[in-house]
Structure 1
Amino acid sequence: MYNHFNQYRCTIIRGKSKGEMDNLLPAYAQIIDEITPADKGSFENSFNRLLKRFLPNASIKTLDNHRTEIAGKLFGMYYIDENQNVYTSERTLKFLEDNDQPAFFKDMCFKIQYPNGMDKPATILERINNNISVRPCSLVLSVLLEAKEVGLVLTKNDIGYYILNSLDALQGKAFPNEIVNVIVNDRNEGIIRKIKNPGKASSYNMQHINELLNYLELANLIHIGMEYEVLLNENELNAINYFAKHWDEKLEFDVYSYDLSTVENRKKIGTDWSFYFSKLVDSKEIFTTTAKSLGIPEEKLSKKLGRTDLVALGDEGELFVYEYEKERVKSYNHRLASKVLHLGKTRGLGYDIQSVIAEDGDISEFVKYIEVKSTKRVTAPSIEDDNWIDTINLTRNEWIAANQHSNYYFIYRVYFVRGTVFMYVIKNVKEKVDDGLLRVIPVAYRADFGNSAIDMVIKEARSEYGV
């Protein structure tokens, strides 16, 4: 029987604000991919040095926190093996491939559990002693689905008191429908319940609740209403249902199997958890974020972008820019609209769209070369924020094209965000690099070799399959 009066504060590692986490994720990913694999000492020094470029005023302590607590433990962007070597996680590699930030956070939220190996051994032991065993994000979404069925809108306080601060819920003893029934009864009686910790500020009471809800927001699964209502994103029901059906399954990472009385096992649980948490959930298609799931109005998208089978982010961004450029050029001179070409599938060019300057002056009909770099995220980018940062990858051909076409080469950074689309335009990349406004860092190497470099030839190489 669910007893909501049994309260228990179960915290999670603190992140930054939603906007900061959306901003920092690409920077973390690029840095980690660039410097791994590496031994732990080299990784720590290199990560801090490179992140300092993005956060020039950050102290060593702050940089350490970004590396260990957020990028490492919370986001699971790398893992450290038993030999103290650091490797890029599967979650990070996928993000570098698809630039789908909500999908990254969906994967992270799905694997969050209490208890886990993120915490200090003393905290893990306390949670074991209290029989904690729950997938908090799955339970929250399952309760929200049950509430939706009976027309009940839950608030942050409801989520906090009845679920994330409830011992019965955290022990996995409370069924979603039981929780909803209790809330309905309290509402009918005009009872509003809140987390209480005498002598503590309200921020202490709700801090851990807000943190977890922030991650679910970044995953594009919920949004918070004006009166702090916690609302499901109806366009993400496939992912939400996937979470919800796993709410009562046994935890994948069995913390209870470790004997934490020994130093060796206390180290081992951290290493094992790091490796487990870095692995992707096998749900790539379910977690993929579409423009529709971000709630972008149809009038902002082309008919092609509205297709449910079009999920490749590069395609979405290129089509968006292509249609934008066609309309822009057409409004200047309809005769020039036919000169706007979508060339994204043509390999080796170094740009995706060939357009026309289409501005008053002597160069109005000059060719404009556009490289499109797209991403999906929940929060809108804000260049007014002094801490705003972003990072993209350029291929060798793109860098050559940027130098070759200089003033006529543009990067369109497209952000598909909740409710709309932003584009930031960077003109003349080469000039901005020369002026120190933009940094381009070579991170890949090509090795060419001839017969003089060969040290050994093994003619009889065979695999275990006899090939």
Structure 2
Amino acid sequence: MTYNPARQFRCTIIRGKAKNALDNLLPAYAKIISDICPSPKDQFALQFNERLSEILGESVEKTLNNHRTEIAGKFFGMYYEDVHGTIISSDRTEKYLEDSDQPAFFKDICFKFQFPNGMDKSENVIEKFSNGVSIRQFPYILKLLVLSEQRGLRLTKDEIGYYVLNSLDVLSGRVDPSVVLDFITSDRNAGIKKKVTVTGKASSYSMQHINEQLNYLELANLIRIDNKIISLNHRENETISFMSDYWNKDPEFNVGGYNLKDSVQRKQFYFDWQLFYSSLNKELKFTTSVDSLNIKVQPSGNGTSVIVDTNLIGEEGENFVLQFEKNRVSSFDHRLVRKVIYLGKTRGLGFDIQSVIAEPGEYSEFVKYIEVKTTKRVTVPDPRDPSWIDTVNLTRNEWVAAAQHRKYYSIYRVYLTPENVTIFTINDPYTKDEEGTIRCKPINYRLDFTNSSIDSVLSS
């Protein structure tokens, strides 16, 4: 067929949130779903809304329902309903709770997403299908970006929007990315600039579905966007190469196998879709290396310089905290540095690093026990956000150590992001649990905390 980008088709997705909000909401959703599942459908709705209301300070039922059904359920695929009407935590959620790898969570979403899909109302699915829409758009975008960079070009959000994500021919899966790139190049050379526009609507509305889809590729750590210019994150080349090879593969879920005008088949379609979308391919589990985040070196919160060597950070961040503690203690009294010891390989202790208080007063040389918990995400967490929440899993040994050492025990929550390494310290979590400022439940002793319980915020 002849590619004509002027054949525009508004192919929307579920409306999400800003990137930082999505990164913040993910651990909150996962915490709630893991706590209350398995659960009967009606109880799940009530408990999810009640728990999220406590976190967000939001009481509007419509908003809470949107979080539960549209974002956590349909788009994130964090739970599914079985044949008995019981809500089950999905494989995707369980993997995230195990590895705290937020970009990997979004990689899986980008890989499985397709048009048409079971997230839309049936009339919208029928409209897309009848118009021939059939594509795995995220692999397609990645392939186009690979080809464009091979030609020395950087594409813009407007170009991806107009020539790809709002182009009926591309959305129908019938156009080679090289052909799209030729059109973009030709229009550029002719001084023609195209962008998605909807008559009578603001630019923000016209580009909303484009921006949100690109947000997910950013959250997956696969692209960077600077002043509307899109670049591939080449530290993720292995994943980019793997995904982009699927640009011309048919969507994995066959929407055409169902007659959506028949109520029985329509119900089966939505049931089958949620099982498909929330599941993980057992042979394919995406990961995010520390190196792929390309962490920048920045001054630490206490004014000392911390050298961020990604070979030393390690997948769990203990080595970074070890170096941080050595710098902190050295700035107080260099003779005490020898007392900062890494013990993460020693089983059964309940902490990773033995340090010293290193603060003015009679307890300056007292031992300090540090348990390090690390997560990888694309955006920097902001504890000033009243809706912010996070969760960590503790072993029995770690919680026993917290109870035993009390004020001499701290959890260092490490966030590895492209912008920097941020550490939130939580001192004496056992007492905070008794006081109710954090909540620790014996699931594997998972500690939930908000901005009110953070004692300091340190950035690399």
**TM-score normalised over the length of structure 1:** 0.90
Conservation of the 8 A alpha-carbon contact between 1:300 and 1:420:
no
5+ residue gaps, structure 1, are 446-467
Q: Does residue 1:295 correspond to 2:302, yes or no?
A: no
**TM-score normalised over the length of structure 2:** 0.91
Using the TM superposition, give the Cα deviation of residue 192 of structure 1 relative to its aligned residue in structure 2, in angstroms.
0.3
Aligned equivalent of 1:236: 236
Aligned equivalent of 2:156: 155
CA deviation vs aligned residue, 1:173-221 (integer Å, no higher than 9, x gap): 1111000000000000000011122122222210100110111111011
Aligned equivalent of 1:79: 80
Conservation of the 8 A alpha-carbon contact between 2:103 and 2:288:
yes
Using the TM superposition, give the Cα deviation of residue 282 of structure 1 relative to its aligned residue in structure 2, in angstroms.
5.3
CA deviation vs aligned residue, 1:344-385 (integer Å, no higher than 9, x gap): 222222211111112222111100011111100000011222
Q: For residues 391-410 of structure 1, what are the structure 2 equivalents within 5 Å?
A: 391-410=391-410
Q: Does residue 1:2 correspond to 2:15, yes or no?
A: no
CA deviation vs aligned residue, 1:225-281 (integer Å, no higher than 9, x gap): 12x111211211111111110011121100011111211111111110101011124
Using the TM superposition, name which of 37-46 and 365-374 deviates more: 37-46
Q: Tell me how far apart the structure 2 counterparts of residues 120 and 303 of structure 1 sit (CA, whole Å).
A: 45
Q: Which amino acid aligns with 1:205?
A: S
Q: For residues 379-458 of structure 1, what are the structure 2 equivalents within 5 Å?
A: 379-443=379-443
Conservation of the 8 A alpha-carbon contact between 1:302 and 1:323:
no
Using the TM superposition, name which of 348-357 and 245-254 deviates more: 348-357
Give the secondary-structure state (helix, strand or coil) at the position aligned to 1:370.
strand
Aligned equivalent of 1:305: 312
Using the TM superposition, give the Cα deviation of residue 80 of structure 1 relative to its aligned residue in structure 2, in angstroms.
1.0
Compared with structure 1, are the counterparts of its residues 408 and 444 closer, same or farther at alpha carbon in structure 2 (3 Å cutoff)? closer
Conservation of the 8 A alpha-carbon contact between 2:396 and 2:444:
no
Compared with structure 1, are the counterparts of its residues 101 and 264 closer, same or farther at alpha carbon in structure 2 (3 Å cutoff)? same
Q: Which amino acid aligns with 2:45?
A: E
Q: Tell me how far apart the structure 2 counterparts of residues 192 and 58 of structure 1 sit (CA, whole Å).
A: 44
Aligned equivalent of 1:186: 187
Using the TM superposition, name which of 428-437 and 101-110 deviates more: 428-437
Using the TM superposition, name which of 376-385 and 318-327 deviates more: 318-327
Using the TM superposition, give the Cα deviation of residue 440 of structure 1 relative to its aligned residue in structure 2, in angstroms.
2.1
Compared with structure 1, are the counterparts of its residues 374 and 9 closer, same or farther at alpha carbon in structure 2 (3 Å cutoff)? same
Compared with structure 1, are the counterparts of its residues 372 and 48 closer, same or farther at alpha carbon in structure 2 (3 Å cutoff)? same
Give the secondary-structure state (helix, strand or coil) at the position aligned to 2:439.
coil
Aligned equivalent of 2:302: none
Aligned equivalent of 1:246: 246
Aligned equivalent of 1:88: 89
Aligned equivalent of 2:321: 321
Using the TM superposition, name which of 116-125 and 394-403 deviates more: 394-403
Q: Does residue 1:135 correspond to 2:139, yes or no?
A: no
Give the secondary-structure state (helix, strand or coil) at the position aligned to 1:260.
coil
Q: Tell me how far apart the structure 1 counterparts of residues 75 and 282 of structure 2 sit (CA, whole Å).
A: 20
RMSD: 1.7
Using the TM superposition, give the Cα deviation of residue 10 of structure 1 relative to its aligned residue in structure 2, in angstroms.
0.3
Aligned equivalent of 2:51: 50
Compared with structure 1, are the counterparts of its residues 357 and 295 closer, same or farther at alpha carbon in structure 2 (3 Å cutoff)? same
Q: Which amino acid aligns with 2:39?
A: A
CA deviation vs aligned residue, 1:365-411 (integer Å, no higher than 9, x gap): 10001111110000001122222221222222222222221111111
Conservation of the 8 A alpha-carbon contact between 2:351 and 2:401:
yes
Structure whose alpha-carbon radius of gyration is higher: 1
Using the TM superposition, name which of 383-392 and 270-279 deviates more: 383-392
Compared with structure 1, are the counterparts of its residues 182 and 304 closer, same or farther at alpha carbon in structure 2 (3 Å cutoff)? closer
What number of residue pairs does the alignment pair up? 436
Conservation of the 8 A alpha-carbon contact between 2:148 and 2:155:
yes
Q: Tell me how far apart the structure 2 counterparts of residues 3 and 209 of structure 1 sit (CA, whole Å).
A: 19
Compared with structure 1, are the counterparts of its residues 143 and 31 closer, same or farther at alpha carbon in structure 2 (3 Å cutoff)? same
Q: Tell me how far apart the structure 1 counterparts of residues 174 and 202 of structure 2 sit (CA, whole Å).
A: 29
Q: For residues 18-57 of structure 1, what are the structure 2 equivalents within 5 Å?
A: 18-57=19-58
Q: Does residue 1:335 correspond to 2:335, yes or no?
A: yes
Compared with structure 1, are the counterparts of its residues 210 and 58 closer, same or farther at alpha carbon in structure 2 (3 Å cutoff)? farther
Q: Tell me how far apart the structure 2 counterparts of residues 359 and 222 of structure 1 sit (CA, whole Å).
A: 42
Q: Tell me how far apart the structure 1 counterparts of residues 248 and 435 of structure 2 sit (CA, whole Å).
A: 56
Percent of counterpart pairs with the same letter?
52
Q: Tell me how far apart the structure 2 counterparts of residues 283 and 220 of structure 1 sit (CA, whole Å).
A: 21
Give the secondary-structure state (helix, strand or coil) at the position aligned to 2:111.
helix
Q: Which amino acid aligns with 2:312?
A: L
Using the TM superposition, name which of 8-17 and 27-36 deviates more: 27-36
Using the TM superposition, give the Cα deviation of residue 122 of structure 1 relative to its aligned residue in structure 2, in angstroms.
0.6
Using the TM superposition, give the Cα deviation of residue 12 of structure 1 relative to its aligned residue in structure 2, in angstroms.
0.5
Aligned equivalent of 1:175: 176
Using the TM superposition, give the Cα deviation of residue 144 of structure 1 relative to its aligned residue in structure 2, in angstroms.
0.8
Give the secondary-structure state (helix, strand or coil) at the position aligned to 1:190.
coil
Using the TM superposition, name which of 180-189 and 16-25 deviates more: 16-25
Conservation of the 8 A alpha-carbon contact between 1:107 and 1:281:
no
